[in-house]
Structure 1
């Protein structure tokens, strides 16, 4: 499996030609399938794909990890370039999504007109589903561990009123290969440990060879603070280390301060995936 980061908050020092944005988009190439996992907030992932010799028109299917703009809004550009792939996301109640802290409030949800204009391309998944051979979307996520502290700033507004976001719009992508599973987290608002625990329980006899995506260990993104304390992040790292997983690849909402703390515990098992990074798993 080959994974290329089309969009992340940062980029490889050697690729100044690539644009960055606060968002995430990964191109995944398996033996049989090309996937887009998240699409960032705009057309940046498309522009970077051209520079990385990746052809978005040839992607077989797209998956959106959750309904925040920095993972979803770029899909408007995807459907203009790619005319064949279905776009998969989790079915949930119609809500608006907000970030709110210290008197500041902003909408962080996807642009709903994208769904309305492209309803024929969208596949809403309610239950865990194999959407292609060995490609699984998991909708029920365990709650064994606490959710990330950074979630405290995230709310929804629906007919029930204003509530803390429960992330009933989040899913996990799991791809099976002969030598193990690769787990894709998006932002892991449900908690990266909960996501791993979910996969372990659903695939009890299979090895997880890698976990890829954001871990949402950032607190306030504008300050790149950590969510919780250094002790909290170290506890997450120690729990991750207990799983027999070869590699963790992360960026975006993990935050570089939290990444440094994780690295101190996980060492070579943890790697950063900025824009332009390509890994073979």
Structure 2
């Protein structure tokens, strides 16, 4: 399996010509299948794919991790480049997605309004565990054994009666199976990376999880230079991650530099960063 990061907040040192942005998009080659996991915030992922020599017209399927702009904002640009691939996602939440902080900041962070209606023939809504391609699985019933990331406290749904905390019923987990194990993709990890790993492990008990890739939503808000939680809490998270049946973690986007640095101290070689242009063979 080969995974290329088309979009992440920063670009890798060996790909200076690529365009980073706050978002995530992963291009995956798996058993002759081409899958796009998330699309970033704009059309930059499509531009980067062209610069990397990746033909997105050949993508067989798209998986959208959740209904936030930094993961689905690139869909119109992708549709212009690919006329056939279906987009697999959960149903939208009951309300509009907002980021709110400090009693004065309130910003819409959902998908472009009207997008789902405009391209309705391209979307496949998934309500249950589904194998969308051979060895490609979507999980919709996510475990809640572990505490959710503290950064979720700033994320709301705007409903008729006001704002409520987003329970992230629009988030999914994606996993791919190889002969030597599974790779799990977390998107932003609003449901918690530990809960996402447990979700996959419950479905496939005893199977090796050779990798987990995506954001863990540990960045602090409203300042991206901060950390959503204490150092002690991050150390404990890292220790619990070590106990999971996971060989390697790759992360970026919403994990944040400070949280990554603490996790790296605990996880060592089991944890690596991904940036725009990073290619990983799992």
Verify same fold: TM over 0.5: yes
Q: In 2, distance between residues paired with 1:232 and 1:172?
A: 24
Residue number in structure 1 paired with 2:61? 61
Matches within 5 A, 1:67-216: 67-102=67-102, 103-159=104-160, 161-216=162-217
User: Deviation of residue 158 (structure 1)?
Assistant: 2.5
Which residue does 2:270 correspond to in 1? Answer: 269
Distance in 2 (CA, whole Å) between partners of 1:117 and 1:225 is 38
Counterpart secondary structure, 2:190: coil
Question: 2-side partners of 1:118 and 1:106: how far apart?
Answer: 24
Contact 2:67 2:92 in 1 (8 A): no
Count residues with an aligned counterpart: 281
Matches within 5 A, 1:234-249: 234-249=235-250
* Per-residue Cα deviation, 1:131-184 (whole angstroms, up to 9, x for no partner): 111111000000000000001110001345410010000000011111000000
Query: In structure 1, what is the Cα distance between the partners aligned to 2:273 and 2:156?
Result: 29
- Mean Cα displacement is larger for which, 159-168 or 131-140? 159-168
Residue 219 of structure 1: how far off its partner (Å): 1.3
1:201 CA displacement: 0.6
8 A Cα contact 1:187 1:253, kept in partner = yes
TM-score, structure 1 normalization: 0.98
Does the CA contact (< 8 Å) of 1:73 and 1:114 recur in 2? no
Aligned to 2:30: 30
Q: Determine helix, strand or coil for the equivalent of 2:265.
A: helix
In the aligned structure 1, how far is the partner of 2:92 from the partner of 2:43? 26
Using the TM superposition, give the Cα deviation of residue 11 of structure 1 relative to its aligned residue in structure 2, in angstroms: 0.9
Is the Cα contact below 8 Å between 1:3 and 1:29 reproduced in 2? yes
User: Which is further off, 60-69 or 103-112?
Assistant: 103-112
In 2, Cα distance between the equivalents of 1:57 and 1:152? Answer: 38
**Residue 12 (structure 2) aligns with:** 12
CA distance in 2, matches of 1:122, 1:241: 37
- Looking at structure 1, the residues matched to 2 and 113 of structure 2 have their Cα atoms a distance apart, in angstroms, of 31
| Aligned 8 A contact 2:137 2:174 in 1 | yes
The answer as to whether partners of 1:85 and 1:121 remain within 8 angstroms in 2 is: yes
1:113-135 per-position Cα deviation (integer Å, ceiling 9, x unaligned): 21111000000111111111111
Gaps of 5+ in 2: none
d(CA) in 1 for partners of 2:225, 2:45: 23
Shift of 1:221: 5.4
Q: Superposition RMSD on alpha carbons, in Å? A: 1.1
Q: C-alpha distance in 2, partners of 1:186/1:277?
A: 16
Query: Which ranges in structure 1 are unaligned for 5 or more consecutive residues?
Result: none
Deviation at residue 108 of structure 1 after TM alignment: 0.7
